[in-house]
C-alpha cells in the first residue's frame, strides 16, 4: 500500500481521470450509484418536506453525497460511524430507516436511535465534540482486540475547535483505528475557509499529529471510496489514524434557516452546481456503459417510493406525551420525576 505523505495537496481523482478503481465490479459501481441516489433523493425530498412544514429546520447536504457515500462504502458493518448534522442520513447506508431520520428533524423522539443497532452514533450538533468520542471508540476497540475501526465526519470549520485537536491527537497517540473525515465544503455557515485557517490545505493538519493525510476530490465518489479504503486498511492493520480532507463545495444554504445570498458568490455556486457530484458519477457510469436510462429511472423511482413511505411512517408516529420528558435520563430515575410528571399531567389535563 502506498504510504501517504503529509502535505500532498493534489486532489486525488478517479472520475475526471476516467480511471477505474481496483476491486470494484459492475455491481459495486451500481451499488454506489444506488446509494448516491438514495441520499440525493432523501435530501431533496427533505427540503420539500421542510417547505411544506412537515419537518423542522434541516441541514441540507446536496453535493455532499459523494463524500458520504464513497467513505461509508469503504467500511464494514462492524465499523462505527460518527456523523455530524451534515451526515444526518448517513445511517440509511446502514439500514437505518429514513423515517427515523425524518423524525429527528421533526423533533420527535422516534428520531433518536440506539447507535449500537447500526454502529452509527447519534447525530452530533455541537461542532467537533464527537471527534474525541470516535477516537475513544476506536481506541477502545483496539484495546479489546476487536478489528473494528471508526470514522468521524466533521467540516472545515470544525478543525478550528479544541475538541477536534484533542480528538485527533488522542487518536494518533493511542494509535486508534480512526478515519478523521473532514468534509471541506469551504464554508462554515458564512465563514469562508480563508477566515477559518491559514493552512494552505486542511490536510496539512495531519502532519502536526503525526498521521498521514489524504486530499481527495470530495465530489468524486470513487476517489473518496479509494482514499477511505486505504485509510481503513491502515487503521485495521494497526497503523493508527488517517486524516482525509474531502474537498467539495456547499452550493446550498447552510441549513433551511440560512440565507447565503448575503455572503456567498452566486456565480461560483452556479459553477459548482454544474459539477455536482451525482451528475458526475452518472456521466462516468454511462461512459463505462454500466448505467442505462432504465436502471437510473428504476433507482430514482425506488428512492422516491422509499421517501414517500418514510414520511408517511414518520407522520404516522403517535404524538409524544409529556412522560417522554422524563424517560431515559437515568437508569434509576429520582423520585422527583414521578411527582413532576403527575403535577404536569394534572395541569395539562385541567
Partner 1 sequence: MPELYLVEAVNDALHCELARDESVMVMGEDVGRAGGVFRATAGLRERFGADRCVDTPLAEAGILGTAVGLCMAGWRPVCEMQYDAFSYPCLDQLINHVGRYRWRTRGGMEFPLVVRMPYGGGVRAPELHDDSPETFYVHVPGVKVAVPSTPADAKGLLAAAIRDPDPVVVLEPKLIYRTERGEVPEGEHVVPLGRARVVREGDDLTIVAYGAMVPVAERAADAIDASVEVLDLRTLKPLDEEALLASAAKTGRVVLVQEAPRTVGYAAELAAILAEKAILDLRGPVLRVTGYDVPYPYWQIEDAYMPSVERVVDAARRLLAF
Ligand X SMILES: Cc1ncc(C[n+]2csc(CCOP(=O)(O)OP(=O)(O)O)c2C)c(N)n1
Query: Which residues touch 136 (CB under 8 Å, ≥6 apart)?
Result: 170, 176
- The CB-based long-range contact list for 113-122 (8 Å cut-off, 24+ gap) reads 115/80, 118/91, 118/94, 119/77, 119/78, 119/79, 119/80, 119/81, 119/94, 119/148, 120/80, 120/81, 120/83, 120/90, 120/91, 120/94, 120/96, 121/80, 121/81, 121/82, 121/83
In angstroms, give the least distance from the CB of 26 to ligand X: 33
Identify the burial level of 90 via C-beta atoms within 10 angstroms of its C-beta, where 0-12 means exposed, 13-18 middle and 19 or more buried: buried
Number of residues that bind Mg ion (CB under 5 A): 5
In Å, how far are 127, 186, 202, 336 from 51, measured between CA atoms? Answer: 26, 26, 35, 40
Give the one residue of 50, 86, 141, 234 binding ligand X; rule: CB under 6 A. Answer: 86
Q: Which of 17, 26, 107, 126 binds ligand X (CB under 6 A)?
A: 126
| Cα 45 to Cα 85: distance, rounded to the nearest angstrom | 17
Q: Which of residues 171-210 bind partner 1 (CB under 8 A)?
A: 188-192, 195-197
For residue 68, state whether it binds Mg ion (rule: CB under 5 A).
no
Q: How far is the CB of 83 from partner 1 (least distance, A)?
A: 13
Q: Which is nearer to partner 1, 158 or 278 (CB)?
A: 158
The CB-of-129 to partner 1 minimum distance in angstroms stands at 8
User: What's the CA gap between 179 and 151, in Å, rounded?
Assistant: 5
Q: How many residues bind partner 1 (CB under 8 A)?
A: 49
Q: How far apart are CA 347 and CA 99, in angstroms?
A: 32
Indicate which single residue of 74, 89, 158, 314 sits in contact with ligand X (rule: CB under 6 A): 158
Cα distances (angstroms) measured from residue 11 to each of 173, 215, 246, 280:
27, 5, 9, 16
- Give the nearer residue to partner 1 in terms of CB position, either 24 or 163: 163
Based on CB atoms, which residue is closest to partner 1, 143 or 325? Answer: 325
The residues carrying an active-site annotation are 250, 254, 263
Q: Which three cell numbers stand for residue 111?
A: 428520531
155 binds Mg ion (CB under 5 A): yes
Q: Which does 86 bind (CB under 5 to 8 A by kind): Mg ion, ligand X, partner 1, none?
A: ligand X
Note whether 156 binds ligand X by CB under 6 A: yes
Is 347 near partner 1 (CB under 8 A)?
yes
Between 190 and 292, name the residue whose CB sits nearer to ligand X: 190
Q: How far is the C-alpha of 312 from the C-alpha of 306, rounded, in Å?
A: 10
Cβ proximity to ligand X, 183 vs 306, nearer residue: 183
Asked whether position 189 contacts ligand X by CB under 6 A, the answer is yes
> 189 by DSSP, 3-state: which?
coil
Residues lying near partner 1 in the complex (CB under 8 A) are found at: 56-57, 85, 104-109, 111-112, 123, 125-127, 157-158, 160-163, 188-192, 195-197, 257-258, 262-263, 319-322, 324-326, 329, 334, 336-337, 340, 344, 347-348, 350
Amino acid at each position: 500500500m502506498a504510504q501517504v505523505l503529509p502535505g500532498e495537496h493534489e486532489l486525488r481523482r478517479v472520475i475526471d481521470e476516467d480511471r477505474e478503481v481496483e476491486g470494484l465490479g459492475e455491481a459495486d459501481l451500481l451499488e454506489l450509484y444506488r446509494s448516491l441516489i438514495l441520499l440525493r433523493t432523501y435530501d431533496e425530498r427533505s427540503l420539500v418536506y421542510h417547505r411544506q412544514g412537515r419537518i423542522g429546520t434541516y441541514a441540507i447536504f446536496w453535493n455532499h453525497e459523494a463524500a458520504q457515500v464513497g467513505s461509508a462504502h469503504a467500511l464494514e458493518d462492524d465499523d462505527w460511524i460518527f456523523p455530524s448534522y451534515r451526515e444526518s442520513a448517513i445511517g440509511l447506508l446502514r439500514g437505518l430507516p429514513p423515517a427515523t431520520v425524518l423524525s429527528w428533524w421533526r423533533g420527535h423522539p422516534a428520531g433518536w436511535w440506539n447507535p449500537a443497532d447500526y454502529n452509527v452514533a447519534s447525530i452530533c450538533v455541537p461542532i467537533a465534540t464527537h471527534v474525541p468520542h470516535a477516537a475513544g471508540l476506536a481506541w477502545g476497540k483496539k484495546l479489546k482486540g476487536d478489528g473494528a475501526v471508526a470514522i468521524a465526519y466533521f467540516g472545515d470549520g470544525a478543525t478550528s475547535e479544541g475538541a477536534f485537536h484533542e480528538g485527533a491527537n488522542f487518536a494518533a497517540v493511542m494509535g486508534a483505528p480512526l478515519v478523521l473525515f473532514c468534509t471541506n465544503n469551504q464554508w462554515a455557515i458564512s465563514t469562508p475557509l480563508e477566515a477559518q485557517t491559514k493552512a494552505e490545505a486542511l490536510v496539512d493538519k495531519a502532519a502536526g499529529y503525526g498521521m498521514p493525510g489524504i486530499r481527495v476530490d470530495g465530489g468524486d465518489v470513487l476517489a473518496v471510496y479509494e482514499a477511505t479504503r486505504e485509510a481503513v486498511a491502515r487503521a485495521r492493520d494497526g497503523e493508527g489514524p488517517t486524516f482525509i480532507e474531502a474537498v467539495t463545495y456547499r452550493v446550498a444554504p447552510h441549513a433551511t434557516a440560512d440565507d447565503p445570498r448575503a455572503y456567498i458568490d452566486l456565480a461560483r455556486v452556479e459553477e459548482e452546481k454544474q459539477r455536482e457530484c451525482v451528475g458526475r458519477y452518472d456521466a462516468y457510469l454511462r461512459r463505462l456503459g454500466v448505467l442505462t436510462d432504465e436502471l437510473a429511472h428504476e433507482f430514482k423511482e425506488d428512492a422516491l417510493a422509499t421517501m414517500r413511505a418514510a414520511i408517511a411512517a414518520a407522520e404516522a408516529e403517535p404524538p409524544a406525551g409529556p412522560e417522554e420528558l422524563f424517560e431515559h435520563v437515568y437508569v434509576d430515575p429520582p423520585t422527583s420525576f414521578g411527582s413532576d410528571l403527575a403535577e404536569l399531567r394534572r395541569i395539562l389535563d385541567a
